[in-house]
Structures are given as C-alpha cells and as structure tokens.
C-alpha cells in the first residue's frame, strides 16, 4: 500500500452496490520460456521449453497453471533428436493435436524441426512421433503453422546464428499437418538489430493475418516483438504482399522490471470476448538466458484493426483474469478446502483428534485419509507449487504443519507454541508461507517460512477474538479479525512500511462485527464480509482506485460465520441460517444482491470452493459426516467424520 489505511477511516463511508474488478492472475505462470497456450473444452493447456522432453500443464483457470502438475507427453528415445528440445507449439488440425518443436543431438548447429501427433482429441495425448518437417539440410528452429485463405502454411527461423548469416523467417506451404510442399520463401523482416528473427506466430485480425515474431538475441534485454501483416486473399508466399509494421510492438519495460519480452503465443478468453498474449520475459537487464519465465496478459485492437499489445506488465501488477475464466478458490488466501489440479480437497478435524483429509478425484471417486495429529479446532490449508499444506492447532496450543509432495507423501513438523485459536494463512508472491492466529493473550501471532525452510515468527499486536482471515494483495499482506469490542480489525504489511512493522486500523466497523470475518481481493478492490447482531451479512470493500471504503448490507438471517469467495464475475456468500439450512447470498454486475435457501441441515459453518462452472460447499451433517452441497444436491461422503465442535 502506498498510504496508511488508517487515514481512510476518516473518509465518509459511501453506501452502494459492490463493484467487480475481476479476479487476478499472478505472473509468472511457469518457470520456463518459449510458451504456447490454448484454451479448449474447459481447460487451459500450456507448454514451454524443457530441454529433454515435451510437457504440458493443464488447469481450468489461467492462474492455476502456476501450481498445476506437469504431464510429460513425449520423450524421444532417438539420440539424434532428443536434446536441446525447444519451443513446442500446440495446434489442433482435423480432430487431432500436433506439437511442433525443435531438437538436436546436443550440437546447436544440428537443430531441426519435428512434429508429434496425438492419438485422439485429448491435448495431453498420448502422442507418437510423426515426422521431421521443413528440412532443407540446414539449421532450423521455432517452426509454427498458420492458416491464411483457408490453407495451412509453415513459418520458421533459419539458417542460424553465424551459420550463413543472421537468422531470418522462411515460409512454405503445408500439404498435411506434418509436411510441407513446394519451394520455401525467405521473408524479409525488420527488427531493430541484426542477429535474430524467430518465433513467428500467426494472429488473425479483421481482414488481415498478422505474423508476430521476435528479434534480437533472446539473452539480451532488448529481445522484443515485431510484426508483418498480409491482407486476406493475397498469397503469403509472395514477399511483396506483406506489409512491414514500423518499430517494435512489444518491448522491454524498465519501469516495471520486465526485460526481453518475446517468443509469444496467442489465445482467446474462455467466453471468446478477449484476446490474450502469452510470452516469456525476465527481471534482469543482464545478458543471460537464465531467469526467463512465462507470463500472460490481455491485449486490445486499434481502430485500424491492428493489435495493441500495450507494455509488458511487471510481476507486481497482476492482470485481471480472462473473461469467463472460472475463478478457483486456491487463490488468494487459504481455507479448509481448495482445488489441486482437478481434485477438490478438504481438511477438518476428526472426532479422534486427527487431521482428516477428504478429496474427490476427477472421475468423481470420493477418497479419505488422515494425516496424523493430534489437532484441535479447524485447520487451514493452501497450495504452494505442486505441494499441499495444512496447518492446525494442537491441544496444547502449538502450530502444527502438515504437507504433502508428489512422490514423497505426508510429512509433519512443529512450528512452536503460542496459538490459542484456529490458524489462517497464505502464500506470498516470493514463495513464503505465512500463518496467522490468535495468541493466548489475544494478540495476532504470525509465523512464516522462508523459501530455504527457516521458520520465523513475530507478533502483530491488537486485541482480538475468534479466527482471522488472511490473503495477499500483490506484495501486501492483509489480515482481518474480530476485535474484542466487535470491531473489524485490519492488520496490513507491505514492503517498505515504516520500521518493517505491520499497521492496524478498524475500517470504521466498530461494535458491528459478530462473527469471524471472511473476504478476498478482487482486482483493485478488497472485500470483507461478516455477520451483524441481527444475523444479516455486512459487506465492506476498499477500492484502491479512489482510496475509499464502501459498505452495504446483504441481508439474510445467519448463525455462525459466513464464507465468501468469487466465481467469475459473481461474488458469493454462504452461511448457516438460524434454521440450520444452507443460505446463499450473491451479487453480479448489474443486479441487486439475491438470497436463496438451499435447504439441508448444517451443524457447523460451511466452507466453499469454486471449480470450473460449479460451486461446492463443505459442512458437517447432523450425523457428523462430511457433506457437500452443489446447489440443492447434497452428497454425504462415505468415510470419516468431522468433530462436533469443528
């Protein structure tokens, strides 16, 4: 934050409908370079350079790619082409998927281009080797197909660095998805430097095809995108038919700390209304190939029909998620439930005092196991990369950390004493794990784990009751809790804050908070919800655009604490009604807040997750079993029970 929020409470509180600013995408999406990305059938698919194989990451949300597991779809046993595997391009033709890539025998000069083909319609394969493509007996890289006038063409870069002159773009017609035909054509292309023209990718615009390519050495900070275009109806194999657009169209942004943006791809938002670019960039101006990571952001179109890519965004400036992207509850903050890959996960305390873990596999199978104990109260959990982390209070007030990693299983460790309430936590952009909870003296205790595994702690002060909620907002950390005077206590920390100590304010909500708060960050806004004395749900939001707090009342008649999350453009609050039923309150742009009873019989406060176009609410049934609500459909899980005081 650039100013202390304590100043905000002096401003007049404005009553009105909440505004939606979109869930955000935290770049980078992947730790490698040369990305290709597509959205199809409810999932994003991303591939990047891996060097010895071709792997794909899949996620129903764009943000989820950052934590999705890799699926290795092809590893070539042939030593003549299984090293220096670069720049996969993922395309679908005639019902099958094709990946175009570059590989060698370990000698750069021997790079050639290859194609693998899927056995069916699944982008994850299986794949088989199909062919070497566009082989003219010399160095060739970065091959990608494009379609113009209804016909497929292939674009690539050759002959290579220092091998017959600077790399340039070549074009050739394709007769099948895995072969070219006829003569190749060299396409002159400007670039502001002499050494490289590579990674040419087609982009369909109104009445024209744009060929966007990278220029300059990718290790340099001035690696950048340039563009040529051709009108519909003209032959792309005639170089004179192409128009060279002057100057770079996407280049370094020193103010945002982005250098060498390039080797891009394009994709469309899930609802088809937005255009997006995926590319790699780095955070150093040094001449190095290390540190290139995959990022994505939206772009627009100019009045003359040309694309406007804007400037590359810094890693601290997360873009709003693509329109129609189903928000996943794994980001931000933590909860007892979240999505890991395609599996819905939930944690709670069992009657025998262990940490219970329930999950639903992609085929719908319901599973259950325990991660150990003893634990007290209700735990919290979140994802960190491919790992799953859960934190819980032990009966003697210690913070217990459980985590699972692929191929390793569940491990546990003790983070120390001093916890009197249930924990809440988050993962910050730098990879640190943070956990907050009420200490025995009512102050806010804070633990965090450095990326090297070192656990540290401090105390953020205050006087609170109940369980806090916590989330990140860019590089900032925000914690909300109920004060002993029924106020909304807001703790916050940001890099550069005076004395490196957190600050505290009350958001103007004194004497009105009668439950644990719940909330989330959304675009440039922060939203917090809580139950008032009359059982209605109060909503407060802070807008970083105009630096004001707004408040309204969503109604309802709840008992216990509500639970809030976003799903697409809609904001949702669920809670246990005084009648024991599951109540749903929601708001979407252009409509008033609506309220609905979903029935059922809850004996504790629900926890929710959003998954694709579905919402799941977890709670305890009258018999003590875990139950999920999906709309008015209630499923009782076959194994494990939740403790009665959970």
Known catalytic residues are: 34, 198
Quick one: three-class SS letters along 14-34?
EECCCCCCCCECCCCCECCCC
Q: Residue 599 burial (CB < 10 Å; 0-12/13-18/19+)?
A: middle
The answer to whether 249 and 211 have CB atoms below 8 angstroms apart is: no
Overall size of the chain counted in residues: 646
Q: Which of 287, 215, 217, 212 is nearest to 242 (CA)?
A: 212
The answer to whether 170 and 162 have CB atoms below 8 angstroms apart is: no
Burial 251-273 (b: 16+ CB within 10 A, else e): bbbeebbbbbbbbbbbbebbeee
- Greatest alpha-carbon pair distance for the chain in Å reads 80
Measured CA to CA, the distance from residue 527 to residue 282 in angstroms comes to: 32
Angle at 297 between CA 608 and CA 53, to 5 degrees: 85
Q: Which of 295, 340, 342, 321 is nearest to 567 (CA)?
A: 321
- Taking phi over 0 as left and psi of -120 to 50 as alpha, with beta for the rest, 254 belongs to alpha
Measured CA to CA, the distance from residue 93 to residue 99 in angstroms comes to: 11
CA atoms within 13 A on the CB side of 587: 21
Q: Report the side by side order of strands in the sheet with 14-15.
A: 14-15, 548-555, 537-543, 525-531, 518-522
Measured CA to CA, the distance from residue 183 to residue 173 in angstroms comes to: 8
3-state DSSP assignment of residue 367 = strand
The tokens describing 30, both together, are 């992947």
CA-CA-CA-CA torsion sign (562, 599, 361, 60): negative
> For residue 159, how far is the Cα from the chain centroid?
38
Measured CA to CA, the distance from residue 37 to residue 91 in angstroms comes to: 9
3-state DSSP assignment of residue 561 = strand
CA-CA-CA-CA torsion sign (412, 418, 419, 424): negative
CA-CA-CA-CA torsion sign (71, 76, 81, 82): positive
Measured CA to CA, the distance from residue 406 to residue 556 in angstroms comes to: 43
The answer to whether 27 and 37 have CB atoms below 8 angstroms apart is: no
Q: Residue 73 burial (CB < 10 Å; 0-12/13-18/19+)?
A: buried
Phi and psi, residue 241, nearest 5° = -75, -10
The CA distances from residue 423 to 59, 237, 641, in Å, are 28, 63, 21
Measured CA to CA, the distance from residue 443 to residue 491 in angstroms comes to: 11
The answer to whether 444 and 436 have CB atoms below 8 angstroms apart is: yes
């Amino acid at each position: 934050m650039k100013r202390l929020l304590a100043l905000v409470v002096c401003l007049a509180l404005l009553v009105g409908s909440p505004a939606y600013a979109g869930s955000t995408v935290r770049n980078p999406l992947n730790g490698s370079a040369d990305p290709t990305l597509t959205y199809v059938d409810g999932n994003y698919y991303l591939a990047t350079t891996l060097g010895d194989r071709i792997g794909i990451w899949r996620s129903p949300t764009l943000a989820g790619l950052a934590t999705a597991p890799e699926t290795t779809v092809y590893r070539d046993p042939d030593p003549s082409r299984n090293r220096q595997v670069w720049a996969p391009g993922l395309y679908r033709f005639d019902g099958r998927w094709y990946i175009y890539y570059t590989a060698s025998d370990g000698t750069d000069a021997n790079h050639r281009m290859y194609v693998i083909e899927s056995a069916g319609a699944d982008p994850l394969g299986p794949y088989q080797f199909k062919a070497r493509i566009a082989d003219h007996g010399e160095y060739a890289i970065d091959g990608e197909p494009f379609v113009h006038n209804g016909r497929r063409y292939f674009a690539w870069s050759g002959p290579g660095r220092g091998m017959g002159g600077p790399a340039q773009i070549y074009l050739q017609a394709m007769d099948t998805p895995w072969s070219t035909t006829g003569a190749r054509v060299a396409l002159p292309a400007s670039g502001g430097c002499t050494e490289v023209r590579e990674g040419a990718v087609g982009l369909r615009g109104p009445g024209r095809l744009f060929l966007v390519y990278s220029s300059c050495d990718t290790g340099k900070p001035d690696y950048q995108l340039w563009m040529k275009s051709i009108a519909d109806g003209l032959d792309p194999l005639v170089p004179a038919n192409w128009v060279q657009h002057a100057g770079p169209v996407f280049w370094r942004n020193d103010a945002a700390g982005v250098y060498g943006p390039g080797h891009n791809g394009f994709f469309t938002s899930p609802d088809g209304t937005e255009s997006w670019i995926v590319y790699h960039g780095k955070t150093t101006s040094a001449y190095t190939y290390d540190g290139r990571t995959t990022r994505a952001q939206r772009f627009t179109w100019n009045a003359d029909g040309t694309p406007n890519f804007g400037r590359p965004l810094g890693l601290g400036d997360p873009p709003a998620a693509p329109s129609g992207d189903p928000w996943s509850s794994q980001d931000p903050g933590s909860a007892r439930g979240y999505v890991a890959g395609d599996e819905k996960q939930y944690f709670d305390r069992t009657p025998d005092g262990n940490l219970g873990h329930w999950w639903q596999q992609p085929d719908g199978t319901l599973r259950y196991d325990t991660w150990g104990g003893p634990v007290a109260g209700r735990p919290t959990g979140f994802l960190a990369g491919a790992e799953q982390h859960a934190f819980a209070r032990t009966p003697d007030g210690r913070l217990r950390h459980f985590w699972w990693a692929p191929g390793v299983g569940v491990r546990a460790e003790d983070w120390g004493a001093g916890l009197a309430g249930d924990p809440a936590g988050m993962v910050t952009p730098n990879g640190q794990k943070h956990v907050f909870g009420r200490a025995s003296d009512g102050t806010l205790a804070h633990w965090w784990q450095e990326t090297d595994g070192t656990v540290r702690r401090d105390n953020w002060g205050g006087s609170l009751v109940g369980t806090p909620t916590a989330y990140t907002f860019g590089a900032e950390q925000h914690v909300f809790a109920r004060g002993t005077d029924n106020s909304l206590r807001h703790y916050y920390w940001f890099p550069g804050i005076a004395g490196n100590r957190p600050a505290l304010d009350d958001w103007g909500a004194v004497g009105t908070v009668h439950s644990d708060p719940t909330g989330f960050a959304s675009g440039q806004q922060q939203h917090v919800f809580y139950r008032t004395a009359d059982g209605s749900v109060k909503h407060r939001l802070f807008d970083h655009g105009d630096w004001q707090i707004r408040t309204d009342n969503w109604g309802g008649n709840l008992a216990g604490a509500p639970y809030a999350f976003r799903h697409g453009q809609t904001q949702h609050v669920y809670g246990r009604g005084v009648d024991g039923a599951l109540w749903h309150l929601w708001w979407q742009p252009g409509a008033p807040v609506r309220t609905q009873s979903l029935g059922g019989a809850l004996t504790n406060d629900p926890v929710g997750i959003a998954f694709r176009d579905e919402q799941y609410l977890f709670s305890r049934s009258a018999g003590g079993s875990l139950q999920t609500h999906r709309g008015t459909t209630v499923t009782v899980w076959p194994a494990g029970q939740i403790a009665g005081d959970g």
